[in-house]
Structure 1
Amino acid sequence: MQKIFVAGHRGMVGGAILRNLQARKDTGEDITLITRTHAELDLTSQAAVAEFMQAEKPDVVILAAAKVGGIHANNTYPAEFIYQNLMMECNVIHQAFAAGVKKLLQLGSSCIYPKHAEQPMTEAALLTGTLEPTNEPYAIAKIAGIKLCESYNRQYGVDYRSVMPTNLYGPGDNFHPENSHVLPALIRRFHEAAQNGTEEVVIWGSGKPMREFLHVDDMAEASLFVLDLDKGIYDANTEPMLSHINVGTGTDITILDLAKLVAKVTGYEGKISNDPSKPDGTMKKLMDVSRLEKMGWKARVGLEEGVAETYQWFLENQDNFRR
């Protein structure tokens, strides 16, 4: 029997990973799934995490817990973004090691790469330039998580891996009007505009930045694919000081074209305009996913299909989606 602790199982990504693992369990895999809500376990508390790890002694830890948000949230709450993410990573990774956990998977973010990184961004671009100012605190915390895993691997010979997803979306997303990421924010705004008969929807920035989007179910599959890889195969496709792996689709779309796609899916037929006084962020963020594809995994869910599915979930959960 294998005991697997999924940290952040109520979040969008953690929830998708948990569903995937539960499906494995239902088909006969001998695994025990361990979860804790924030009320049950505060991951920013060193003492609480230490007590939990020593009591449960999981065989595998998946660190999907994080404080996340879009440009507005990152600009408004930089202290919370760097502090909470650093504390969660330090506590979970170190206390997992202290409890004898040999295998761990940490989920990061594509924002770890420099603002002007060559496109598409390879894993080797890490720490080669300055970060995008709007999300620098969050990015620094995520970089620290990668280096924690690398350092414990080097010093103690454990198998702690990191996956760096591009922009994620899907069922379970956060549709808060101010603190959400761009795609769920657009879904909510265009839905409300269509319902209210609004003549014009204004989107932040120039509309020219290009972004890559990965469905959360694809991310869950990719995460467990990387986790399950034989260490020899994994090590053969990574470098000693470059142990994180990009996860994405390898294709991107402008924010304006994304808005048009969301308008189509939600049935909005009004005008779409831009507010250039708002920040664009990095102009292009496309992941080089050749390493993961060489290992044998590729994304399956197309963007329009995924947006339509996510909108359907939104419609079914308007009264209780995460705020």
Structure 2
Amino acid sequence: MHFDSKVYVAGHSGMVGSAIVRVLKAEGYFNIICKRSFELDLKNQNDVDLFFAEERPDYVFLAAAKVGGIGANIAAPAEFLYDNLMINTNVINSAYKYNVKKLLFLGSSCIYPKLSLQPMKEEYLLDGKLEPTNEGYALSKIAGIKLCEYYNKQYGTNFISAMPPNLYGENDNFDPEHSHVIAALLRKFHEAKINDDKNVVIWGTGKARREFMYVDDAARACLFLMLNYDGNSHINIGSGEDVSIEELALIIKDIVAFDGVIEKDTSKPDGMPRKLMDNSKINEFGWKFSISLSEGLAKTYKWYLERN
């Protein structure tokens, strides 16, 4: 991938896509194509086909997706499955039709079975039942992985897939109804602090464990794979470290400087008991994460404060 190669970042306005654009620009890539959703509806096959026919990108980072936390996934599973299936299918198929040199599809650690062995290796995919609370989203990501694999096998394309853990950072969605756990907790603790509340309520038992990665680390991993990996198997890109939701809440409580107490609403679901990925494959290629959880949380909270 040359610095003047035409690179399309699908989902550039989202948290992951915007981080990929930042990393590309920082590394010297300047011929980057970006389209907002009102300019190009990736769920519309004809529009996507026309876009690829006109622009003819050399490389594609497929980071566009309908995303949300556990509450949003429970409330709208049909949308999470349908919207993401359409986005993935349209972009991957058009990338094949218009001879894209290489595509990277960004998935999610939720593709692995609910009771998967830990840490989760790439080969554990489809080895058991999925977590019901985000099954629709997970199925769409599994379909994207398999579509990349099958196009490679049948048509000789070079489409690869990267599986990040729970991501957070700049441009995260802090909407209380649709945010992921870190954005939701940062906002909860911040508002509790400014409102002088005595407590913050977290969902579930607090015992569920999650692996988190600062979004700029994930973007650097995506570029690394685009430049260095051509295999047909999806690759995990994570930190190899996890924390319980209760431990996460305590770290955020300290960063925000909230003086109250943490309460647990055990009527709410925990989701998967644990999601820790085995990252040995990408580590063997020579890549490792660089931003610790506490450092990344501090950066994210600073970014949030500057905009609220």
**TM bracket (short chain):** over 0.9
C-alpha distance after superposition, 1:35-57 (max 9, x if no partner): 10001100000000000000000
**Counterpart in the other structure of 1:215:** 214
**Counterpart in the other structure of 1:9:** 12
1:295 pairs with 2:285: yes
Q: Which amino acid aligns with 2:301?
A: Y
The structural deviation recorded for 1:202 is 1.0
**Counterpart in the other structure of 1:258:** 248
1: CA distance, partners of 2:213 / 2:291 = 8
Count of aligned pairs between the two proteins? 305
Q: Which amino acid aligns with 2:43?
A: T
Within a 5 Å distance, the mapping from 1:93-104 to structure 2 comes to 93-104=92-103
**Counterpart in the other structure of 2:258:** 268
Shift in CA distance, 144/230, structure 1 to aligned 2, threshold 3 Å: closer
Q: Which amino acid aligns with 1:5?
A: Y
**Counterpart in the other structure of 1:321:** none
Does the residue aligned with 1:94 lie in a helix, a strand or coil?
helix
C-alpha distance after superposition, 1:156-184 (max 9, x if no partner): 11110000000000011000112100011
For structure 2, the 5+ residue unaligned runs are none
Does the residue aligned with 1:89 lie in a helix, a strand or coil?
helix
The structural deviation recorded for 1:102 is 2.3
Does the residue aligned with 1:20 lie in a helix, a strand or coil?
helix
Q: Which amino acid aligns with 1:135?
A: N
1: CA distance, partners of 2:34 / 2:202 = 38
Equivalent of 1:21 in 4, 7, 24? 24
1: CA distance, partners of 2:165 / 2:110 = 8
Within a 5 Å distance, the mapping from 1:99-110 to structure 2 comes to 99-110=98-109
Does the residue aligned with 2:116 lie in a helix, a strand or coil?
coil
Does the residue aligned with 2:31 lie in a helix, a strand or coil?
strand
**Counterpart in the other structure of 1:317:** 307
Q: Which amino acid aligns with 1:113?
A: Y
2: CA distance, partners of 1:202 / 1:33 = 42
The structural deviation recorded for 1:24 is 2.3
Equivalent of 1:307 in 293, 297, 302? 297
2: CA distance, partners of 1:145 / 1:230 = 18
C-alpha distance after superposition, 1:172-198 (max 9, x if no partner): 100011210001100000000011110
**Counterpart in the other structure of 2:49:** 50
2: CA distance, partners of 1:54 / 1:175 = 36
Q: Which amino acid aligns with 2:103?
A: L
Within a 5 Å distance, the mapping from 1:130-145 to structure 2 comes to 130-145=129-144
2: CA distance, partners of 1:91 / 1:44 = 7
2: CA distance, partners of 1:74 / 1:102 = 34
Q: Quick one: percent identity of the two aligned structures?
A: 55
Does the residue aligned with 1:168 lie in a helix, a strand or coil?
strand
Does the residue aligned with 1:212 lie in a helix, a strand or coil?
strand
User: TM-score when scaled to structure 1?
Assistant: 0.93
1: CA distance, partners of 2:127 / 2:229 = 30
Runs of 4+ with deviation above 2 angstroms: none
1: CA distance, partners of 2:301 / 2:257 = 11
Q: Which amino acid aligns with 2:27?
A: R
**Counterpart in the other structure of 1:165:** 164
**Counterpart in the other structure of 1:60:** 59
Q: Which amino acid aligns with 2:288?
A: K
The structural deviation recorded for 1:22 is 1.3
Indicate the RMSD between aligned Cα atoms, in angstroms: 0.9
For structure 1, the 5+ residue unaligned runs are 319-323
Does the residue aligned with 1:226 lie in a helix, a strand or coil?
helix
Q: Which amino acid aligns with 2:155?
A: Y
Q: Which amino acid aligns with 1:289?
A: N
Does the residue aligned with 1:190 lie in a helix, a strand or coil?
helix
**Counterpart in the other structure of 1:229:** 228
The structural deviation recorded for 1:273 is 1.1
C-alpha distance after superposition, 1:83-131 (max 9, x if no partner): 0000000000001111111200000000000000000000000000000
Does the residue aligned with 1:253 lie in a helix, a strand or coil?
strand
**Counterpart in the other structure of 1:87:** 86
Q: Which amino acid aligns with 2:206?
A: G
The structural deviation recorded for 1:310 is 0.2
The structural deviation recorded for 1:230 is 5.4
**Counterpart in the other structure of 2:184:** 185
Q: Which amino acid aligns with 2:262?
A: I
